[in-house]
Chains A and B, each alone.
Chain A
Amino acid sequence: MQQIEKFSYDNTSVRNFGYAAFIWGAVGMLVGVLIALQLVIPQLNFIEQATFGRLRPLHTNAVIFAFVGNGIFMGVYYSLQRLCKARMWSDLLSKIHFWGWQLIIVLAAVTLIFGITTGKEYAELEWPIDILITLVWVVFGINMFGTILTRRERHLYVAIWFYIATWVTVAMLHIVNSLELPISWLKSYSLYAGVQDALVQWWYGHNAVAFFLTTPYLGLMYYFLPKAAERPVYSYRLSIIHFWALIFIYIWAGPHHLLYTALPDWAQSLGTVFSVMLIMPSWGGMLNGLLTLRGAWDKVRDDVVLKFYVVAVTAYGMATFEGPMLSLKNVNAVSHYTDWTIAHAHVGALGWNGFLTFGILYWLVPLMFRTQLYSRKLANIHFWVGTLGILFYAIPMYWAGFAQSSMWKQFTPEGVLKYPNFLETVNAIIPMYITRAFGGGLYLIGSLVGIYNLVKTIRQGNFLPNEETEAPALAKHEAEHAGAHWHRWIERRPVQMLVVSLVLVAIGGIIEMIPTFLIQTNIPTISSVKPYTPLELQGRDLYIKEGCYVCHSQMIRPFRSEVARYGEYSKAGEFVYDHPFQWGSKRTGPDLAREGGKYPDSWHYNHMLDPTTMSPGSIMPAYPWMIERDIDTSTTAAKIRAMQKLGVPYDDGYDKIANEELLKQAREIRARLKKDGIECSETKEIIAMIAYLQRLGKDIKGEQTALSNK
Chain B
Amino acid sequence: MLSFIKKYAVGISHVEIYPKVALIIFFAVFLAMIYYAFAVDRKEIEKMARIPLD
A207-230 residues at the B interface, CB under 8 angstroms: 222-223, 226-227, 230
Closest to A231 in B: B53
**In the complex, are the beta carbons of B29 and A485 less than 8 A apart?**
no
**In the complex, are the beta carbons of B30 and A245 less than 8 A apart?**
yes
B15-45 residues at the A interface, CB under 8 angstroms: 15-16, 18-19, 21-23, 25-26, 29-30, 33-34, 36-41, 44-45
CB neighbours of B22 from chain A (8 A):
252, 270, 507-508, 511
Known: A82-B52, A232-B53, A240-B33. A249 touches B26 (CB 8 A): yes
**In the complex, are the beta carbons of B18 and A227 less than 8 A apart?**
no
Q: Which residue of the partner chain, among A157, A179, A514, contacts B51 with CB atoms under 8 Å?
A: A157
A479-528 residues at the B interface, CB under 8 angstroms: 483, 485-488, 491, 504, 507-508, 511, 514-515, 517-520
**In the complex, are the beta carbons of A79 and B5 less than 8 A apart?**
no
**In the complex, are the beta carbons of A155 and B48 less than 8 A apart?**
yes
Minimum distance in angstroms from B46 CB to a CB of chain A: 7
CB neighbours of A236 from chain B (8 A):
45-46, 48-49
Considering the chains assembled together, what is the distance between the CA atoms of A519 and B18 in angstroms?
13
Q: Which residue of the partner chain, among B25, B33, B53, contacts A241 with CB atoms under 8 Å?
A: B33
Closest to A153 in B: B51
In this assembly, does A159 line the interface, its C-beta being within 8 Å of a C-beta of chain B? yes
**In the complex, are the beta carbons of A237 and B53 less than 8 A apart?**
no
Q: Which residue of the partner chain, among A485, A504, A519, contacts B39 with CB atoms under 8 Å?
A: A485
Minimum distance in angstroms from B30 CB to a CB of chain A: 6
Considering the chains assembled together, what is the distance between the CA atoms of A266 and B46 in angstroms?
43
Considering the chains assembled together, what is the distance between the CA atoms of A227 and B49 in angstroms?
11
Q: Which residue of the partner chain, among B38, B44, B52, contacts A227 with CB atoms under 8 Å?
A: B52
How does the 8 Å CB contact mask read for A223-264 relative to B, with 1 for contact and 0 for none? 100110011110011101100110011001000000000000
CB neighbours of A269 from chain B (8 A):
19
Known: A155-B48, A232-B49, A270-B22. A487 touches B36 (CB 8 A): yes
In this assembly, does A647 line the interface, its C-beta being within 8 Å of a C-beta of chain B? yes
Considering the chains assembled together, what is the distance between the CA atoms of A249 and B29 in angstroms?
10
Closest to A515 in B: B15
In this assembly, does A362 line the interface, its C-beta being within 8 Å of a C-beta of chain B? no
Closest to A277 in B: B26
Minimum distance in angstroms from B17 CB to a CB of chain A: 10
Closest to B33 in A: A244
Closest to B51 in A: A157
In this assembly, does A286 line the interface, its C-beta being within 8 Å of a C-beta of chain B? no
A141-198 residues at the B interface, CB under 8 angstroms: 153, 155, 157-159, 179, 191-192
Q: Which residue of the partner chain, among A223, A483, A486, A515, contacts B18 with CB atoms under 8 Å?
A: A515
**In the complex, are the beta carbons of B9 and A248 less than 8 A apart?**
no
**In the complex, are the beta carbons of A240 and B3 less than 8 A apart?**
no
Considering the chains assembled together, what is the distance between the CA atoms of A82 and B6 in angstroms?
48
Minimum distance in angstroms from A653 CB to a CB of chain B: 21
Closest to A645 in B: B3
In this assembly, does A305 line the interface, its C-beta being within 8 Å of a C-beta of chain B? no
Closest to A264 in B: B15
- The interface of chain A, by Cβ under 8 A from chain B, is 79, 82-83, 153, 155, 157-159, 179, 191-192, 222-223, 226-227, 230-233, 236-238, 240-241, 244-245, 248-249, 252, 266, 269-270, 273-274, 277, 483, 485-488, 491, 504, 507-508, 511, 514-515, 517-520, 647
List 19 A-B pairs, Cβ < 8 Å: A83-B51, A153-B51, A155-B47, A157-B51, A179-B1, A192-B2, A227-B53, A232-B50, A241-B33, A241-B34, A245-B29, A245-B30, A248-B29, A274-B26, A491-B48, A514-B9, A518-B10, A519-B12, A647-B3
- The interface of chain B, by Cβ under 8 A from chain A, is 1-3, 5-6, 9-10, 12, 15-16, 18-19, 21-23, 25-26, 29-30, 33-34, 36-41, 44-53
9 nearest A-B residue pairs (beta carbon)? A232-B49, A236-B49, A237-B37, A157-B51, A244-B33, A515-B15, A487-B36, A240-B37, A236-B45
